[in-house]
């Protein structure tokens, strides 16, 4: 349930777009070693048509290691939707979150995602961060069914051992398939890439809109390059001040609160498919106990499969990202599962993990672990994860343990973490940025947005909504002041609050 998704274009920890398959692997880091990254930094981008709705693509060469700019290089895939009026301000760099999500859907679907007033004035520019998608990508194998079939609320030593085996196997496969690239996919490297993108698109300063994990990218950039920021909006904020245990517990509590709200609503409405005689919460706990004892049969895309405890939890989380708009779908999936058919709930889990109809997975999950595990020092032992799971389960009985145990691969990760958790301090040169927080965001709780805004001395927009991120879905109450700020660079004079109308 990691923080990682724009409600606009993604679900779970990545994009739901399925049509994007071109990748470039870790081997490219050696093949491109004769390219001068310094020269590439100042070389104009060569944009070409590459999809529907006028989408354009380009490739930017950047250093594998920004501390050695003349060394081996990798490639970044860039996507652009051109400004729709002659009053173009510049480029708006956008990131959907993850970590591990491709930026392509944000540019490809810009006409459906962003308001007219924004598209008129900016080229919408997105990219696949290093390690992701069509950029030089990490690889951890494409068959992850065994990894997600593990019970991540283990209550026996055998189930704990199965978690350890799955986590070790994923880490080992990532090392074998990705090689030295694993040491160079952290956010520290990506913010330097963002500055290279700024130069490549010809902007003297950066205008940026980041969702979920994209807020962490943006905040890190603002701290590192304060004089390079024209305007920056961070929607669905991650709180860098939290350590792993606090982050897992607070995020788990956010999902639990969203689930409780859904169950309470369902219990009050006879039309809800999971009404269960007004005892929806009891029915859910019985269902989860049954799945824990024996996975449910499921059939998707002609394949006979099984819905296990981890997939059931991920399926519920996948639906909760979108808030109330997904409650009917969730109710239907749970009702079917209660009748012995796990297909709909497993399909929601597949959307979350980006499992493809042929049984393979996109690079999103591999990139998620590669970036997360090398970003910040978190748990370092199995005992740490067990303690995190116990603490999270106290505040989130359904989601807490699963959320903690999903972090176990980082204990065995073959690349070192780059930084320790800690609060940011806004540089004196940084002009006010804007943070958006949803009052009932399940994945990045409201308190995280408040905290990040305080750390960055930012303007805070609080939106009364239950979705993960708010800019795209909340309507004019958020979009109007944000677009005005992105165009002018002048932040609102005070903090704002509003109710979502979209």
Which of 377, 412, 447 is the last residue before a domain boundary? 412
What is the pLDDT, as a whole number, of residue 29? 35
Mean pLDDT to the nearest integer, 53-60: 94
| Active-site residue identified among 102, 212, 258, 438 | 212
Mean pLDDT of 205-220: 98
Give the pLDDT score at 492: 95
Judge if 386 and 459 occupy the same domain: no
Domain boundary among 365, 393, 412: 412
pLDDT, tens only, 471-498: 999 899 999 999 999 999 999 999 999 9
pLDDT(205) > 50: yes
Note the pLDDT of residue 379: 82
Q: How confident is the model at residue 42 (pLDDT cuts 50, 70, 90)?
A: low
Is 275 an active-site residue? no
Compute CA distances 315 → 2, 61, 382, whole Å: 14, 37, 26
The domain containing residue 42 runs over which residues?
Answer: 1-9+28-138+185-241+423-502
So what's the pLDDT on residue 138?
95
- For the segment 453-477, the average pLDDT, to the nearest whole number, is 95
What pLDDT band is residue 500 in, cutting at 50, 70 and 90? confident
Mean pLDDT, range 282-293, rounded to an integer: 97
- Is 71 in the same domain as 129? yes
For the question of residue 468 being annotated catalytic, the response is yes
Average pLDDT of 146-158? 95
Percent of the chain's residues with pLDDT above 70 = 91
Pairing verdict, β 122-128 and 73-81: antiparallel
441 is catalytic: yes
Model confidence, pTM: 0.91
**Contact assessment for residue 180 and residue 189, using Cβ atoms and an 8 Å cutoff:** no
What pLDDT does residue 378 have? Answer: 81
415-to-164, 255, 370 alpha-carbon distances in Å: 18, 30, 8
> In this structure, what DSSP letter does residue 134 have?
T
- C-alpha–C-alpha distance, residues 280 and 79, integer Å: 44
CA distances from 15 to 5, 214, 217, 385 (A): 8, 13, 18, 28
From the list 66, 81, 184, 468, the catalytic residue is 468
Q: Residue 83, CB half-sphere, CA atoms under 13 Å: how many?
A: 16
Residue 91 CB contacts under 8 Å (≥ 6 apart), including other chains: 80, 122, 123, 124, 125, 201, 202, 203, 207
Instruction: Give the model's confidence band at 143: pLDDT under 50 very low, under 70 low, under 90 confident, else very high.
Output: confident
Residue 215 shares a structural domain with residue 333: no
Average pLDDT, rounded, for the chain: 90
pLDDT of residue 324 exceeding 60: yes
pLDDT computed for residue 175 by the predictor: 95
Asked whether residue 8 carries a pLDDT value surpassing 90, the answer given is no
Last residue of one domain, picked from the residues 356, 379, 412: 412
Query: How far apart, in whole angstroms, are the C-alpha atoms of residue 233 and residue 236?
Result: 10
406 in the same domain as 260: yes
Pull the structure tokens for residue 125.
Answer: 């520019």
Mean pLDDT check: name the lowest of 38-47, 382-391, 490-499: 38-47
pLDDT at 113 over 70: yes
What's the CA gap between 348 and 282, in Å, rounded?
22
Q: What CATH number is given to the structural domain containing 444? A: 3.40.50.1820
Which pLDDT score is estimated for 1?
56
Q: Token match 């930017």: residue?
A: 60
Asked whether residue 428 falls in the same domain as residue 453, the answer is yes
What integer pLDDT is reported at residue 419 of this predicted model? 84
How many structural domains compose the chain? 2
Q: How confident is the model at residue 502 (pLDDT cuts 50, 70, 90)?
A: low
Q: Does residue 347 sit within a domain?
A: yes
Q: Which residues contact 484 (CB under 8 A, 6 or more apart)?
A: none
* Residues 435 and 387 reside in one and the same domain: no
Task: Report whether 25 contacts 138 (CB < 8 A).
Answer: no
Residue 32's pLDDT is 33
pLDDT, one tens digit per residue, over 154-198 is: 999 999 999 999 999 999 999 999 999 999 999 999 999 999 999
- How many other CB atoms are there within 10 angstroms of residue 130's CB atom? 26
Bridge partner residues of 231 (DSSP): 207
Give the number of other Cβ atoms within 10 Å of residue 346's Cβ: 27
Catalytic residue among 196, 203, 379, 441: 441
């Amino acid at each position: 349930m990691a923080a990682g998704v724009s409600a606009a274009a993604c679900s779970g920890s990545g994009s739901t777009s399925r049509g994007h398959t071109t990748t470039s692997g870790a081997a490219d880091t050696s093949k491109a070693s004769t390219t001068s990254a310094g020269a590439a930094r100042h070389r104009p981008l060569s944009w070409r048509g590459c999809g529907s709705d006028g989408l354009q693509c380009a490739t930017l060469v950047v250093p594998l290691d920004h501390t050695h700019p003349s060394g081996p290089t990798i490639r970044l895939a860039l996507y652009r939707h051109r400004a729709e009026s002659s009053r173009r301000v510049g480029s708006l760099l956008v990131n959907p979150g993850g970590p591990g999500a491709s930026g392509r859907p944000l540019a490809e679907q810009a006409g459906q995602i962003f308001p007219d007033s924004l598209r008129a004035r900016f080229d919408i520019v997105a990219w696949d961060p290093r390690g992701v998608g069509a950029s030089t990508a990490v690889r951890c194998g494409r068959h992850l069914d065994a990894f997600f079939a593990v019970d991540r609320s283990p209550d026996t030593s055998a189930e704990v051992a199965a978690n350890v085996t799955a986590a070790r196997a994923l880490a080992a496969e990532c090392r074998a398939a990705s090689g030295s690239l694993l040491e160079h996919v952290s956010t520290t490297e990506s913010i330097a890439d963002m500055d290279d993108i700024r130069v490549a698109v010809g902007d003297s300063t950066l205008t940026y809109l980041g969702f979920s994990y994209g807020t962490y990218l943006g905040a890190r950039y603002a701290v590192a390059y304060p004089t390079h920021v024209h305007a920056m909006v961070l929607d669905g904020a991650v709180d860098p001040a939290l350590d792993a245990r606090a982050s897992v517990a607070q995020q788990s509590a956010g999902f639990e609160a969203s689930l409780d709200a859904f169950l309470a609503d369902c219990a009050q409405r006879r039309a809800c498919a999971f009404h269960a005689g007004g005892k929806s919460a009891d029915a859910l706990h019985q269902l989860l106990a049954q799945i824990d004892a024996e996975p449910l049969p499921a059939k998707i895309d002609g394949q006979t499969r099984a819905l296990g405890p981890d997939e059931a939890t991920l399926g519920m989380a996948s639906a909760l990202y979108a808030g109330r708009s997904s409650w009917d779908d969730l109710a239907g999936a749970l009702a079917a599962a209660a009748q012995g058919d796990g297909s709909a709930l497993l399909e929601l889990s597949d959307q979350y993990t980006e499992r493809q109809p042929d049984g393979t997975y996109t690079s999103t999950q591999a990139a998620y672990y590669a970036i997360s595990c090398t970003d910040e020092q978190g748990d370092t032992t199995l005992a740490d994860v067990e303690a995190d799971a116990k603490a999270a389960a106290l505040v989130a009985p359904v989601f807490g343990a699963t959320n903690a145990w999903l972090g176990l691969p980082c204990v065995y990760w073959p690349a070192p973490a780059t930084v320790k958790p800690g609060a940011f301090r806004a540089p004196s040169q940084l002009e006010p940025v804007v943070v958006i927080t949803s009052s009932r965001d399940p994945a990045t709780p409201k308190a995280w947005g408040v905290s990040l805004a305080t750390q960055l001395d930012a303007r805070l927009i609080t939106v009364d909504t239950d979705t993960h991120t708010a800019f795209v879905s909340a309507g004019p109450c958020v979009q109007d002041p944000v677009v005005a700020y992105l165009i002018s660079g002048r932040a609102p004079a005070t903090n704002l609050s509003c109710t979502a109308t979209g």
